[in-house]
Structure 1
Amino acid sequence: MGLLDYPELVLLIPLIAYIVRRRGKDILTPTNWPVLGMLPGVLLNLHSPHEYLTQFFHDRGTTLEFKGPWFSGMNMVFTCDPANIHHVFSRNFSNYPKGPHFRKIFRVLGDGIFGADFDLWEVHRRTTLSQLSHATFAAHLEATVWRKVEAGLLPLLGAFCERGSEFDLQDLFQRLTFDNICKLVLDHDPCSLSLELPHIPCEKAFSAVGEPLMYRHVIPEFIWRLQAQLNVGRERMMSDAARVFHDFIYPRVGLASEEEKGFNMLRAFERVYEEKNLGPPSGLRDFLKDTSLNLMFAGRDTTSTALTWLFWLIAQNRATEAKVREEIKAELNLKNKNKWRFFTLQESHKLRYLHGALCESLRLFPPVAMEHKAPLRPDILPSGHYLESNSKLIVSFYSVGRMQSVWGEDCLEFKPERWISPSGKIKHEPSYKFPAFNAGPRTCLGKEMAFIQMKMVAAAIIYHYHVELVEGHPVYPRDSVILQAKHGLKVRLSAIDS
């Protein structure tokens, strides 16, 4: 947290730290202070908010009331209780729209599917589902991902391996998924994953918005609104990113909507906009821009983040790496590196142990670390906590996977076997226990798309290389709504002898 970010709060931190230590309090202990409420603990742990919140749950139980400073409007309830998640996301879904406060925080996403409620959300969901279920989509997805692996990823990895260079694997994953989602949504390949590693502002802007969005949850609204008006600190990052998104997407929306050839997702949204009279003709391109941005946000950040943590975990578990490699060879009938070949969505279902490893990574490091809800009507959660109308409920998906009460005493261990049944099939856990793809009616529609992309990418790397972590490089989650590695994932490669 720098002086240019939140100077008003930074000035309070030395005083708060002094008071906390004079009173003999551990800075990790959630304490409700006079006037300041529980905000001091938050400010002193902004460098690791997800771990702090998880510690909070360990100390106080899986649901807790957070008291903000007087008159700040920051009182809220935090939970990682699966019973509460099931109640809010499924059983009582209609009472928990995203709500106006969510839309204020995530205004950069406009009227896309993430912030939409009610009829507009239904339109987005039905249209997206129809496109993902389209007869040609699976083949289009497979071809798009495979081309990027073959022409972009493997040549780059080969060059790094030959030179013995250190590189940021997370950066490569972000470039790869950005190129793929641009091709699927905009029918445009920006080629950010190439030997030149070009700087493309839009690709980097997705990472830039994560921290401001997180901080909007934990500081008083009037502060971040003032910063937005003054265009300073993290709000300046948000403003710059919004402009970059507009400049990159807006011209391509017009081009994409005019083309009929092949698979065209935006053309379907254009037809729905006109048929449902969602707005005036002049608003069509803004609607398509917001739609594209939301789909790109989901396709770039979540998949690249899941792959990053998968390889961080596998690099520390050589037995897992060996099992995945042997499964790839056996199930895809690959005898040596010269046999490496394209495999389909259906063939990817054979890679059960790799699927289990991905699920374990997603359990421990869900890309979307938290969700924000607000009840339309007063409600009582299964945990017994009362919520007033439009009060704030924050659900920590990150903490769910780290609760012994949910996953057992070995909840912090990386065990792909957790997902394999005695008969060798994949175990399916309910979404309220495993909310990596959200839960209930808002469960991610791109789940299958994410798994095929992750399996193609992970299989290509593990079949060809050992991935070795660079010693001394710090790897831990960012203070962001997307659980990226704060300093990337620095690695070296060594080739696998066939």
Structure 2
Amino acid sequence: MSSPTAAMAGSCFAAAKAFLRSYPEVLLSIFCFVFFCYFGRVFRRSSFPVDWPLAGMLPGLLLNLDHLHDWCTDLLRVVGCNFFFRGPWFLGMDYLVTCDPANLQHVFSANFSNYPKGGEFSEIFDILGDGIFNSDGESWKKQRMKAHGLMNGRRFRSFVASSIRNKVEKGLIPLVDDVVRRGAVVDLQDVFMRLTFDATSYLVFGVDPCCLSIGLPTVPFARAIDDAMGALLLRHTVPPAWWKLARWLRIGDEKKLAMSWKVIDRYIAESIAEKKKLRSLRNKKDVGSEAKADLLSSYINDDDDEEQQDSHRQGSTEFDKFVRDTAMNFMLAGRDTTGAALTWFFWLLCKNPLVESKILEELSSTPLRKQRSSSNDMTIFDTEELSKLVYLHAALCESLRLFPPVPFEHKAALRHEILPSGHRVEAGTKILVSLYSMGRMEGIWGKDCLEFRPERWISEKGRVRHEPSYKFMPFNSGPRTCLGKEVAFTQMKAVVAAMVYNFQVQVLPGHVVEPKLSIILHLKNGLRVKIKRRAGDDQQQ
């Protein structure tokens, strides 16, 4: 005679069997769950994605999304710098993924005209409007010529040097000194993002929002840009129809992007209105002997641009949109990229104390003009003379090689052709360039490519070694080379010199450092550090 337990088990089994017969979709769901759990582990062990019917390689991408850049690097390392990613059928997600310098020299320089940003790029980055990043052809040429003239003028370069020195002395140093005195833990990424937000806002708008202040206040404009950047990255990882539907329904990250967009537009519109008001007062009452040197003022006050003056006279909203788009492009270019670059740099310094000691030695032994800060007993360096330091420049280049602030570039072909690698691209083929992967390829940088070694940037004569831009692309390459390259180096050198000379930074033990899923290479968990003031003897090593 069977026991009550066995009878109960038999009854449960019979009931479950009857249930599954009645609802076969439940059985199918369970099977699919087990299937993907099992094969998900397999996919994660292999960098090479399976090309599934209908779904293409999208499942492999989604399973590796949390470490996208390293997954892409492993893939390109296996296949040899070029790989065709096949997305779901008919959803427009096919890409040629590459980090091949020969292909990049061809795409970005030799046959530049065949690879514009294109309509799809500008649709993904719609928040940038018709600014210089999204534009092509004559519009791009005109905008670049105008920006080049303004940013390479002696007046603006002087404005950059004085503004970042002032921000370091009166913003960064007092804040870090306060952290040291309190013995507090601080997120260095947050500090640098605040610093570069203030510095870029001052260069673009002529206004310091004081985001970098003791107490670390929340600035809605800065938060809005952060939220927008996260949403833009996700647009690259899902079929276009998906994020466009989410945008239409205003759900998920697309809803967050729409809300951020309103905050950004309101801030820029208020800034434009204020600049126009100051221009009107100066014209009527001769208020102020000279216009400000910030970029927004320079665009609005440009009396040499006839089209612009016609727009002023007609009260054209078209000009306001142009200035809005220009300001937004400059903010994105200057704020996020430099802040991210500084954060990765200090993480690398914490892991490589020998490099830090060499930078400190260069700062101490070189006859630079130094002076004490007016607000505390800290040393501030002359920003122009920092440009003469070879090892400091080499260390920054090495950090940018390993952690480029913009980890990938996006292009599309106008006409079919064969690339130097032998890969055929048809009209409309999308090309995704992994700058992050490029710095980790032995065939490009040697067997020590994963090492942080600034010496690779110093020639036998002790000068900074030049590398072609299609091999070292943190500032893009060819005709679209970044106009703000010197601005970025000026700002980074001022920050690094003041921080290294006056303070010692230590990453908290156990703090996990990995890239964040964003179009800018932020650290996912920030960079939590303890900081102490450097002793006088340490500065004289």
TM-score, normalised on structure 1?
A: 0.93
**Within 5 Å, which residues of 2 pair with 1:275-290?**
275=308, 281-290=316-325
- Kindly state the Cα deviation for residue 24 of structure 1 after the two structures are TM-superposed: 8.1
Give the Cα–Cα distance (whole angstroms) in 2 for the partners of residues 220 and 276 of structure 1.
43
Question: Is residue 325 of structure 2 the alignment partner of residue 297 of structure 1?
Answer: no
User: Which structure 2 segments of 5+ residues have no match?
Assistant: 1-29, 280-290, 537-541
Deviations 1:200-234 (A, max 9, x none): 01112222222222221121111101111121112
Question: Is residue 301 of structure 2 the alignment partner of residue 266 of structure 1?
Answer: no
Question: Is residue 155 of structure 2 the alignment partner of residue 108 of structure 1?
Answer: no
Give 3-state SS (helix, strand or coil) of 1:97's partner.
coil
Q: Please name the residue that 2:417 is paired with.
A: 379
Give the Cα–Cα distance (whole angstroms) in 1 for the partners of residues 117 and 240 of structure 2.
17
- Kindly state the Cα deviation for residue 73 of structure 1 after the two structures are TM-superposed: 1.7
Question: Is residue 441 of structure 2 the alignment partner of residue 407 of structure 1?
Answer: no
**Within 5 Å, which residues of 2 pair with 1:272-351?**
272=305, 274-275=307-308, 281-333=316-368, 340-345=379-384, 347-351=385-389
Give the Cα–Cα distance (whole angstroms) in 1 for the partners of residues 414 and 82 of structure 2.
20
- Kindly state the Cα deviation for residue 277 of structure 1 after the two structures are TM-superposed: 7.5
Q: Please name the residue that 1:64 is paired with.
A: 83
CA contact (8 A) 1:27 1:41 kept: no
- Residue number among 473, 481, 503 corresponding to 1:443 in the alignment: 481
CA contact (8 A) 1:179 1:189 kept: yes
> Which residue identity is paired with 1:139?
S
Deviations 1:372-430 (A, max 9, x none): 10111112111111111122110111111010010000000000111111111000100
- Residue number among 520, 523, 535 corresponding to 1:485 in the alignment: 523
Q: Please name the residue that 1:193 is paired with.
A: 212
Give 3-state SS (helix, strand or coil) of 1:395's partner.
strand
**Within 5 Å, which residues of 2 pair with 1:4-403?**
14=33, 17-18=36-37, 20=39, 26-259=45-278, 261-270=291-300, 271=302, 272=305, 274-275=307-308, 281-333=316-368, 340-345=379-384, 347-403=385-441
Q: Please name the residue that 1:7 is paired with.
A: none
Give the Cα–Cα distance (whole angstroms) in 2 for the partners of residues 352 and 273 of structure 1.
44
CA contact (8 A) 2:50 2:57 kept: yes
CA contact (8 A) 2:371 2:381 kept: no
> Which residue identity is paired with 1:479?
L
- Kindly state the Cα deviation for residue 72 of structure 1 after the two structures are TM-superposed: 1.6
> Which residue identity is paired with 1:341?
I
- Cα gap change, 1:287 to 1:275, in 2 (>3 Å): closer
- Kindly state the Cα deviation for residue 326 of structure 1 after the two structures are TM-superposed: 1.1
- Kindly state the Cα deviation for residue 20 of structure 1 after the two structures are TM-superposed: 2.4
Of 376-385 and 365-374, deviating more is 376-385
> Which residue identity is paired with 2:270?
P
> Which residue identity is paired with 1:265?
L
Give the Cα–Cα distance (whole angstroms) in 2 for the partners of residues 197 and 127 of structure 1.
36
- Kindly state the Cα deviation for residue 339 of structure 1 after the two structures are TM-superposed: 7.6
CA contact (8 A) 1:13 1:40 kept: no
Residue identity (%)? 44
- Residue number among 443, 456, 459 corresponding to 1:421 in the alignment: 459
Give the Cα–Cα distance (whole angstroms) in 2 for the partners of residues 173 and 12 of structure 1.
48
> Which residue identity is paired with 2:253?
R
- Cα gap change, 1:12 to 1:336, in 2 (>3 Å): farther
Count of residues in Structure 1 that have an aligned counterpart in Structure 2 = 487
Question: Which structure has the larger Rg?
Answer: 2
Give the Cα–Cα distance (whole angstroms) in 1 for the partners of residues 83 and 58 of structure 2.
14
Give the Cα–Cα distance (whole angstroms) in 2 for the partners of residues 195 and 457 of structure 1.
17
Of 360-369 and 131-140, deviating more is 131-140
Question: Is residue 466 of structure 2 the alignment partner of residue 466 of structure 1?
Answer: no
TM-score, normalised on structure 2?
A: 0.86
- Cα gap change, 1:367 to 1:16, in 2 (>3 Å): farther
Give the Cα–Cα distance (whole angstroms) in 1 for the partners of residues 129 and 107 of structure 2.
24
Q: Please name the residue that 1:4 is paired with.
A: none
Give the Cα–Cα distance (whole angstroms) in 1 for the partners of residues 451 and 491 of structure 2.
25
CA contact (8 A) 1:13 1:43 kept: no
- Kindly state the Cα deviation for residue 126 of structure 1 after the two structures are TM-superposed: 0.8
- Cα gap change, 1:13 to 1:394, in 2 (>3 Å): farther
Give 3-state SS (helix, strand or coil) of 1:341's partner.
strand
CA contact (8 A) 2:370 2:380 kept: no
- Cα gap change, 1:335 to 1:67, in 2 (>3 Å): closer
> Which residue identity is paired with 1:90?
S
CA contact (8 A) 2:406 2:519 kept: yes
The alignment's C-alpha RMSD in Å is 2.2
Q: Please name the residue that 2:283 is paired with.
A: none
Give the Cα–Cα distance (whole angstroms) in 1 for the partners of residues 378 and 329 of structure 2.
38
Give the Cα–Cα distance (whole angstroms) in 1 for the partners of residues 124 and 310 of structure 2.
27
- Kindly state the Cα deviation for residue 342 of structure 1 after the two structures are TM-superposed: 3.7
- Cα gap change, 1:480 to 1:21, in 2 (>3 Å): closer
Give the Cα–Cα distance (whole angstroms) in 2 for the partners of residues 14 and 277 of structure 1.
64
Give the Cα–Cα distance (whole angstroms) in 1 for the partners of residues 84 and 500 of structure 2.
44
> Which residue identity is paired with 1:245?
I
> Which residue identity is paired with 1:396?
S
- Cα gap change, 1:202 to 1:23, in 2 (>3 Å): closer
CA contact (8 A) 1:127 1:268 kept: no
Give the Cα–Cα distance (whole angstroms) in 2 for the partners of residues 253 and 445 of structure 1.
23
- Cα gap change, 1:24 to 1:397, in 2 (>3 Å): closer
Give the Cα–Cα distance (whole angstroms) in 1 for the partners of residues 264 and 535 of structure 2.
43
- Kindly state the Cα deviation for residue 481 of structure 1 after the two structures are TM-superposed: 1.1
- Kindly state the Cα deviation for residue 164 of structure 1 after the two structures are TM-superposed: 1.3
